[in-house]
Amino acid sequence: MVSRKRRLILVLGDQLSMDMSALREGDKETDVVVMAEVADEATYVKHHPKKIAFLFAAMRKFAAALQAEGWQVAYRRLDEDGSDSICGELMRRAKEFDAHEVLATEPGEFRLIEALENCPVSVCMFNDDRFLASHAAFADWAEGRKSLRMEYFYREMRRKTGLLMDGDDPAEGKWNFDHDNRKPAPDEVTHKGPLRFDPDETVQEVLDLVADRFGDHFGSLDGFFFASTRDQALEAMADFMINALPKFGDYQDAMLTGERWLYHSILSPYINAGLLNPLEVCQAAEAEYKAGRAPINAVEGFIRQIIGWREYVRGIYFLQGPDYMSSNMLEHGRNLPAFYWGAETRMNCVACAVKSTQDEAYAHHIQRLMITGNFALLAGVDPAQVHEWYLAVYADAYEWVEAPNTIGMSQFADGGLLGSKPYVSSGSYINRMSDHCKTCHYKVSQKTGQGACPFNLLYWHFLDRHRDRFAKNPRMGNMYHTWDRMDEDHRATVLQEADSLLRRMDQGAVI
């Protein structure tokens, strides 16, 4: 009998699932799993220390779990000798084990795909079938469509999975209950936040390493609580289903000073890293609805974020290709203001979102879209800089999911591929959905003059400077009619004060 030549199986930090396609193709008797903590992956953008610590800790524990399952694992810790890149580690291990080939599940970033395709060691890549829609399936859905609206893709995913379906019809007769999910911040939050896990010896070793090596990165390691194994992630999922999901829908768009979590799940880091399977999370939520413990608006809204939006943005990322990240349809070029990196700002809503980001590597989707994203878009910040910031600062950020959310949905840099209009608002939306304006330096009701809310000034400035592009947009016509009905002197004052605000911001003044 001819013995089989040894191969390497690459497992990346966001592929921590026992049923990864590359592992299924492997042979425990002959093949070696390669995992590595490498500087390049931690620093190609300066990732939040909590994200680095979460991934390194989860990787170490996953490597131990693989060994317990009978795999031979070659694991390189950051403080051990080795290469600073994934490809370098593969070359080193190929020589060490006399391996002729690498089996890999396709990475979620073009940067890494290109690196593996150009690696001197032969790499055979397999589809990442943790996702419901393959690249080919999404391309087939998109072909011939005038617009690629998520809602219609989402309905296909509902039919495919059978989630919240009553035969061929959606449960309770509607596909979307978003109208019920826009309640402002509640007077009291009864949920204490995500389930927290105290650092064990392995996690503490990682925290010490990350503090030593990446102490200059934006973000704090204090209060690290993330799950680092699948069992812990399943505990966190169960806790959310019981204690937060019932009210998730009502308040998913709300913001409240001092309440960073509200009723959000904080499961996306675990799903995106592979500790949880997206379908099992959705099925757990559906079970809560069927048992009568969670209402349809909460469960549908939660499931839509996963099998709808999450799958959809991945499809867009791979459909558009590497050039998508350089999209800048609005030709914005302003530098990202220093307050995104923790410098002082008098805008309370922005300060709260950035502080949560700095402390927790987390801010929920409305803070990302309608606070930090909204301000960057109104101010005309270079979308590439905005993209890099979001990729760096959040524990759940990987380019496949972050780039379409930023380039497309948040910054409208793709010209409307993802959204039919830009997500911009004045201070009135923030005031309606939060309590931030009550204690802000600025007055949300003030449109011009000393103390006027920057969002108010910049909102009309944005509409005015992009009038040729958006005036005929049927979803924006009313706002242009409102602008045109304003007194001419008032409009001139708004534009002059907005220009002044932007100049002062560019010069480093505290805004």
Same domain, 366 and 491: yes
Please state, in angstroms and as integers, the Cα–Cα distance from residue 262 to each residue in 208, 359, 363, 370, 423, following that order. Answer: 30, 16, 11, 17, 23
- Report the number of distinct structural domains present in the chain: 3
Position 147 scores a pLDDT of: 85
- pLDDT tier at 2, thresholds 50, 70, 90: very low
Same domain, 375 and 439: yes
Whether pLDDT at 218 is above 50: yes
Same domain, 140 and 29: no
- pLDDT tier at 146, thresholds 50, 70, 90: confident
Same domain, 254 and 395: no
Domain contains 347: yes
Q: What is the mean pLDDT of residues 391-420?
A: 96
Provide the domain limits for residue 151.
Answer: 135-193+244-319
For the entire predicted model, the pTM comes to 0.96
Edge-to-edge strand list for the sheet holding 72-76: 72-76, 32-36, 8-10, 102-105, 123-126
Phi, psi of 62 (to 5 degrees): -70, -40
- pLDDT tier at 3, thresholds 50, 70, 90: low
Domain contains 205: no
Same domain, 436 and 459: yes
Question: 10 Å Cβ neighbour count for 484?
Answer: 11
Q: What is the CATH number of the domain that holds 436?
A: 1.10.579.10
Same domain, 496 and 421: yes
Q: Which of 319, 352, 368 is the last residue of a domain?
A: 319
Q: What is the CATH number of the domain that holds 88?
A: 3.40.50.620
Q: Which of 319, 349, 365 is the last residue of a domain?
A: 319
Same domain, 470 and 432: yes
- pLDDT tier at 390, thresholds 50, 70, 90: very high
DSSP state of 124: E
Whether pLDDT at 327 is above 70: yes
Same domain, 314 and 182: yes
- pLDDT tier at 249, thresholds 50, 70, 90: very high
Same domain, 146 and 115: no
Q: Which of 126, 148, 168 is the last residue of a domain?
A: 126
Please state, in angstroms and as integers, the Cα–Cα distance from residue 206 to each residue in 52, 224, 233, 269, following that order. Answer: 9, 11, 18, 17
DSSP state of 90: H
Same domain, 102 and 173: no
Domain contains 61: yes
